[in-house]
Amino acid sequence: MRALYIGRFQPYHLGHHEVIKQIASEADEVIICIGSAQRSHELENPFTAGERYLMISKSLRDEGILNFYIVPVLDVNWNAVWVSHVESLIPPVDLVYTNNPLIERLFKERGYEVRAPILYNRREYSGSEIRRRMLKNEAWEELVPDAVVTVIREIGGTNRLEDLKRRDE
Ligand code: ATP
Ligand code: MG
């Protein structure tokens, strides 16, 4: 059984990590799509697809999890063809995991079985909360796997966010 999981992972955090660990233990393979792959250097989407790829692959490998494939997916801004677009990039999957109502709707209409993973500590394990903390200089490191802290330090991620907030005044 091959399962699909989709997110923007801006950044990859412990909520995503718990869900993917669970899926990886149940499925033969997990396909992880990095959505909005073309977006980076924005306050809502600070990290590139390659940086997000590193965060996910290092975090899973640190746990000894190897049955995953990561596929970056560009936005097409055309909901009616979006599932076909994803299908053109990934191996065939039997099951889709998402908490996003639009993604659920689009895949169900194409005949897929869709399941909603449970949300872990959603108030804190949230991309928006982590980006907010980075900008306020609050502790965000406890909300992501250790490998993500390493990647974000390596690329100067918090400085990047601060620069994105500055305006040319
Ligand atoms: P943002 O605040 O930037 O939207 P996010 O935390 O919602 O970030 P996404 O990449 O948008 O992360 O979400 C990908 C998937 O992960 C979505 O289906 C989302 O519901 C799910 N998800 C997000 N946070 C958690 C969590 N704490 N536990 C389980 N699943 C989560
Ligand atoms: Mg989200």
Q: Using a 6 Å cutoff on CB, does residue 12 contact ligand 1?
A: no
Mean pLDDT of the chain: 97
- Tell me if 119 CB under 6 Å of ligand 1: yes
* pLDDT tens by residue, 19-30: 999 999 999 999
Indicate the top mutation candidate among 5, 6, 8, 133 to test ligand 1's pocket, ranked by most ligand atoms within 8 A of CB: 8
Q: 3-class DSSP state for residue 115?
A: strand
- Please check the confidence at residue 169 and state whether its pLDDT lies above 70: no
CA of 143 to the centre of ligand 1 (A): 12
Domain span including residue 160? 2-168
CA end-to-end span of the chain? 54
Q: How confident is the model at residue 167 (pLDDT cuts 50, 70, 90)?
A: confident
Q: Whose atoms come closest to the Cα of 131: which ligand? A: 1
Q: What is the pLDDT of residues 33-55, one digit of tens each?
A: 999 999 999 999 999 999 999 99
Nearest to 155 by CA among 36, 6, 61, 52: 52
Contact 59, 17 (CB under 8 A): yes
Please state the domain count of the chain.
Answer: 1
CATH number of the domain that residue 109 is part of: 3.40.50.620
**pTM attached to this predicted model:** 0.96
Give residue 169 CA to ligand 1 midpoint distance, Å: 34
